[in-house]
Chains A and B, each alone.
Chain A
Amino acid sequence: NAGVMQNPRHLVRRRGQEARLRCSPMKGHSHVYWYRQLPEEGLKFMVYLQKENIIDESGMPKERFSAEFPKEGPSILRIQQVVRGDSAAYFCASSDIISPAGDTQYFGPGTRLTVL
């Protein structure tokens, strides 16, 4: 059973370019989460999606960042007009069902974005 997959693993962009990060959740999982890890900082929640719906985007910067999880295909985190401060590791996690007692999120290997 393949785990959460992310690609690319490393991405280099120049300032002003667009970055597209992809995440394929574990088989059978319909909930996807994106987190960002800046150097020397902890993981910060960005957005939570279900198929075709954004459930919580409270951690997303207001501009330049967007996320989607279409009915078919991977979840995409898109960063437009990247700046040096966007350089970070971006992790995707997935889970299967939401229960009042809690749930486990399984993480992918991350995409390391470097903005030159």
Chain B
Amino acid sequence: SQKIEQNSEALNIQEGKTATLTCNYTNYSPAYLQWYRQDPGRGPVFLLLIRENEKEKRKERLKVTFDTTLKQSLFHITASQPADSATYLCALEETGGGNKLTFGTGTQLKVEL
């Protein structure tokens, strides 16, 4: 069966450290993968998109890697801040999937002072 798995346990890290979140998928052939941030009571906010032929993408303090052999994407936040505390969602679109996004359940990140 198809699955997208993110660590369901909350991730607590200290301010200034690098947060690394994992997204693993099974039985998908993604054309691309996206990461979103969601705060309580709000809609997801787009962060980064990485395509199947890209290994790494960066945006300011954010970095995403995509390993289609391992079927895994890693999302990194460097120099983390308390304002980075939120739930982070990965989503993928399958090749030929017609722009339909399939989401993981998200990982809650808490950055402590």
Contacts and interface: CB of A to CB of B under 8 A. Distances in A.
Contact of B43 (A59, A91, A95): A91
A59 B98 CA distance: 13
Contacts of B43: 4, 91, 107-110
The B contact surface, by secondary structure, is: strand
Interface in A50-99: 55-56, 58-59, 91, 95, 98
Interface string A9-35: 000000000000000000000010101
A80 B32 CA distance: 35
A43 B103 contact: yes
Given A95-B99, A107-B45, A42 B51 contact: no
B99 A42 contact: no
B90 to A, nearest CB: 10
Interface in B86-109: 89, 91, 93, 98-106
29 contacts: A31-B99, A33-B100, A35-B101, A35-B103, A42-B4, A42-B89, A42-B103, A42-B104, A42-B106, A43-B103, A45-B100, A45-B101, A45-B102, A56-B98, A59-B100, A91-B43, A100-B31, A101-B32, A102-B31, A102-B51, A104-B34, A104-B49, A105-B34, A105-B101, A107-B44, A109-B42, A109-B43, A110-B43, A112-B41
Given A33-B100, A43-B89, A108-B43, 10 more contacts: A35-B101, A43-B44, A43-B101, A56-B100, A59-B100, A91-B44, A95-B99, A104-B46, A105-B46, A107-B43
